[in-house]
Structure formats: structure tokens, C-alpha cells
Amino acid sequence: MSTFKVLQFNMQFGRRWDNGDPDHAPIDLELTIADIRGHDADVILLQEVEQVQLDGAQRIPPPNYLRLCVELGGYEGFFSYPKTDLRELPFGVGLAIFSKASLRNTIRKDLPSPPIQFEFNGKCTTPTDRLLIGATTTLAGHELRIYNTHLLAFFMLNSSSEKYNGQRALVLDQLRTSQGPTLIGGDFNVSQHESLVRQFGGAGFRTVQMNEATWRRRPLVLDHIFYSRHFRLVRHSVVPTSASDHHILKAELEFVD
């Protein structure tokens, strides 16, 4: 069997979705774990694994990631926070890759954010840097390079990643270092996703879908799984879940020999 399944999910650190009060809904990591485990994916890409503390601190060791490692029996995981920054807002942070096959050659790469000023809770601040992580595994006898990222939501700052394209360029630079089968998933936070799809398409990567919204707060396609020419897309789906403000995106890919 040369096919495998990939799951992409911004898990919002386990916060359930509540239409009436989404910012104060309860944390329910059990629901998150059940949703992830139920899809039986070979590769799992997660964003916002942990919640930033009120003072911008990162919890060490990362409790949600450690819980996921225990509950996702049979998977090997790799996790990283972005670099510590006391400006970090109290939302979700941290990326994880889980694979049924062992992971090796892991990397993390900081993605600097431009000094765009914005106001949060009455204070003027600037955005913190973002992150790209990667690892290599072997599936169906093929070496597979996997990346996971979470880019800055420029549209929330009344700007765009077309104007400030540094993070997208750094991600593409990293993808170009991989000559074999490669995929990248993540929350790309691009509201005008057509430009992102064109840009990555120019580098030889296709997205599994660009028509169904993946974010509950606005009808935007923020989450993607991009794959190189070494694969054929067998099927995909956007799966609604009450375990986050994002839906689950999953895809089945086949190696093209």
C-alpha cells in the first residue's frame, strides 16, 4: 500500500468551540484527543498545542504535548515552541508533528515578524516571531520530508502577507531544499488564500483543497496541506469539529513511483 493519511489541525490548545462565547469556552483536551485519534492518520500536524501564559511565558515541559504523547500510542512526536518573547499574547502557541513511523532529522526555524504596531487590551505592541518545524520519516518504503508551520495573521492587523511576504518566502526557501517527496501543513493565516496557492504552486506544491472554509470565526481557508509532485491526491475532507475554532483538514496521498 503506497497511500497514507495526513491530518492537519489547529487545536487551539484544547479549547472547545462555543458560538456564544468562543474566547471563554472550556478547555477539553479529552475531546481534542478523541477527535485526533479517531481519524487514525499516519501523519498528524498540530498548531497551537499549548496556551501562552498571561506573562507571555511558555510552560516547560509542555503539558498538552506530553499528554498527547501518552494518549497517541504508537506515534512518535516532535514539538517546538517559537522563541520565548514576553510580548506573546495569551493565545495558542507551539507546533507538533506526530508520525506512526519514526522521525529523524528534525529542524526548527524561526520566522521573523515585521514590526507592525497594533493595539491589544489598550496597549500598543508588535507581533512576535512565528515558526516552521520539520522532520523526515519513512512511509511505504519512501522517505518523506514533513513540515509544519503557523504564520502570522496579517489580516488581523489590517495588513497582508502579500505586503509583508518574508515569512512565506522563508517557508518556500526551506521547501526548496527538499528534492524528494515533501509535504507541509499548517495554519497559514492568509485570508486571500488564492495568492498563497499560486505562490506555492510556482514552487511545485499543490494544496489539497481551497474551497471550503477551515476557520469558524470567519469563512476563510486558513489551513492547508501542500504536497510535492511526488504524490497523487486520493481524497480529502474538511471535518467540522467542536474541539477548536478550526476544522480538521485531512487528506489521503499516494506516492507516485
CA distance linking residue 132 with residue 110, whole number of Å: 6
Closest CA to 65 of 98, 106, 111: 98
pLDDT digits (tens, 9 = 90+) for 137-194: 999 999 999 999 999 999 999 999 999 999 999 999 999 999 999 999 999 999 999 9
What pLDDT shows up at residue 28? 97
Q: Is the Cβ–Cβ distance between 86 and 52 less than 8 Å?
A: no
Please compute Rg for the chain using Cα positions. 17
What pLDDT shows up at residue 135? 98
CA distance linking residue 234 with residue 254, whole number of Å: 7
What pLDDT shows up at residue 119? 94
Strand pairing partners for 246? 215
DSSP H or E run through 108: strand 104-111
- Burial class for 253, CB neighbours closer than 10 Å (0-12, 13-18, 19+): buried
Mean pLDDT of the chain: 96
3-state secondary structure at position 208: coil
Does residue 257 carry a pLDDT above 90? no
What pLDDT shows up at residue 1? 56
Instruction: Find cell 477539553 and name the residue.
Output: 28
Which residue ranges form the domains of the chain, and what is each CATH number? 3-255 (3.60.10.10)
Average pLDDT over residues 82-94: 93
Ordered DSSP codes for 18-79 = -SS-GGGPPB-HHHHHHHHHHT--SEEEEE--EEPPTTSPPPSS-HHHHHHHHHSTT-EEEE
pLDDT digits (tens, 9 = 90+) for 203-250: 999 999 999 999 999 999 999 999 999 999 999 999 999 999 999 999
Pairing of strands 223-227, 182-187: antiparallel
CA distance linking residue 85 with residue 57, whole number of Å: 8
Q: Which residues 6+ apart lie within 8 Å of 110 measured at CB?
A: 82, 83, 129, 130, 131
Task: State percent of the chain over pLDDT 70.
Answer: 100
Average pLDDT over residues 111-137: 96
Does residue 80 carry a pLDDT above 70? yes
Question: What's the count of helices (H) and strands (E) in the chain, helices before strands?
Answer: 4, 16
